[in-house]
Copies of this chain bind each other. A is one copy, B any other.
Amino acid sequence: MAQLAQVHPSIASRVLNGDKSASVKEETKQRVLEAAEQLAYRPNGLARGLRTKLSHCITLVIPDLSNPAFAEILRGAELEARRSQYYVLLASQDSGPQEKRFLRATLESRVDGVLLANAKVEDRVIEELEADAFPYVLVNRRSHKASRYVVGDDHGAARIATEHLIANGHRRIGHLAGPETADTATARRQGYEDALRAAGIKVDPALVVCGDYAVSSGRVGLRRLWTGVPRPTAVFAASFQLAVGALEAARELALEVPDHLSIVSIDEFELAAAIPPGLTTVRMPLEEMGREAVRMLLGVVRGEQAGGQLILPQLELVSRNSVGAPND
């Protein structure tokens, strides 16, 4: 490349990197640019990375690819990364002994930073990252150990969902909660409880079932709620999958939704419309979370920004047909 332009490699480097401080004769610059164009020249990323200590890659750790919420986050992350000429290296956590494993890439200095997306990250891992001062950002997960995270407004979303039920006249509102280990789940539960209290409704622990975010949890959860006392007239599900499971159980129980039971959930997907009778949801800004997390991470990598806690406010109630008035 350099020889085609008949210049020294260092000059080529300066030109191609748009080094402002370097002064290069206009004619020479042109020669370089033309040569580069002609050869469709692309500098070797590894060599460059070796020299500059920047790999231009980040890792995204994701617990479960089949969860559409993570697909959204991933998409946002990839979009934003690309805008900054960064690549996203994927580490799905189900691919073996977690722990250090997914940090291998960081240890090999293959990546400039890590995004931890609601992974069941051990606090220990965060501490280590923190101790090494290695750039990382939590996505969709808070932690008091972590100095940087990007999350949605889980509390607010849960409030909106619950208030929607209350506005429709419900008083005995059940909650299919996510795992107690997930702070998204606890925040949503908080929001649910706060909405009830704000409406002067007593919070009844018997109306809350904890499980994980999976479809099967929603199924058994709803059965439990339905056979319990008091029996709810509406249910707020902490995740799309939980709602799907609940709907499934309702069907098995021959319950009409929303006539016998109303259901709302968090996280909006195209499929929510497809499942009869059409699931009412609260949209969380998942893609935006991915974007913002990358933005924050790259800010840290570039040393422009120490990071911080970002709570994305955008919420939207997507009203369909799974909510109606209580029937008793």
Interface residues of A (CB under 8 A from B): 40, 42-47, 49-50, 55, 57, 65-66, 68, 71-72, 74-75, 78-79, 82, 87-92, 94-96, 104-105, 107-110, 215, 244-245, 247-248, 251, 270-271, 273-276
CA distance A244 to B46 in the complex (A): 45
What are 28 A-B pairs at a CB distance below 8 A? A40-B107, A42-B107, A42-B108, A43-B108, A45-B105, A45-B109, A46-B109, A50-B50, A57-B110, A65-B71, A65-B72, A66-B68, A66-B72, A66-B75, A71-B71, A74-B92, A75-B92, A75-B95, A78-B90, A78-B92, A78-B95, A87-B89, A87-B90, A89-B89, A244-B271, A244-B274, A247-B274, A275-B276
User: Which residues from B are CB-within-8-Å of A251?
Assistant: 276
User: Which residues from B are CB-within-8-Å of A276?
Assistant: 251, 275-276
User: Which residues from B are CB-within-8-Å of A50?
Assistant: 44, 46-47, 50
Chain B CB within 10 Å — which of A57, A68, A79, A271 has the most?
A: A271
Asked if residues A46 and B94 are in contact (CB atoms below 8 Å), the reply is: no
CA distance A110 to B47 in the complex (A): 10
The one of B65, B82, B109, B270 in contact with A44, judged by C-beta atoms closer than 8 angstroms, is: B109
Asked if residues A89 and B88 are in contact (CB atoms below 8 Å), the reply is: yes
CA distance A103 to B75 in the complex (A): 18
User: Which residues from B are CB-within-8-Å of A57?
Assistant: 89, 110
User: Which residues from B are CB-within-8-Å of A65?
Assistant: 71-72, 74-75, 78
Chain B CB within 10 Å — which of A90, A110, A274 has the most?
A: A274
What are the nearest 9 A-B pairs in CB distance? Answer: A45-B108, A42-B107, A45-B110, A244-B274, A46-B50, A65-B71, A46-B49, A65-B75, A46-B46
Chain B CB within 10 Å — which of A46, A57, A247 has the most?
A: A46
User: Which residues from B are CB-within-8-Å of A90?
Assistant: 74, 78, 87-90
Distance in angstroms from A244 CB to nearest chain B CB is 5
